[in-house]
Amino acid sequence: MIKAVLRTSLGQTVVLLGLSGENVTRLMADEPIKVNLAELGMPPLQIAIVGGRTEADITAQLEQHFGPLPFTCPRCRRISHHPDDKRYGYCGHCHDYTGTPGGTR
């Protein structure tokens, strides 16, 4: 895996991750690839990368490895951990059904 950190001319940080064939094989075998940004001199955040044919496949994989995912409103990006919000795609901040019922957004 190629890992690098770049800073743009605007001062933004870009983390580059280049996955080789071996890692792509792992992704297709439903194995998440984890990267700890502390290895790159960044704050100690961990990133998990998964692959799948559909968003439903990816959600199922993530929930298998990390537990239930919260609902993220696709309009305002607020996150809700309430199971009913996820079930109905409802955002309490927008007071509207903005998401896909049963989805994570």
- Chain residues binding Zn ion by CB under 5 A are 73, 75-76, 91, 93-94
Q: Closest CB to Zn ion among 27 and 94?
A: 94
Q: Which of 57, 58, 73 is closest to 82 using CA atoms? A: 73
Closest to Zn ion by CB, 40 vs 94, is 94
Q: How far is Cα 75 from Cα 17, in angstroms, rounded to an integer?
A: 28
Taking the least distance from each CB to Zn ion, the nearer of 7 and 95 is 95
What is the smallest separation between the CB atom of 98 and Zn ion, expressed in angstroms? 5
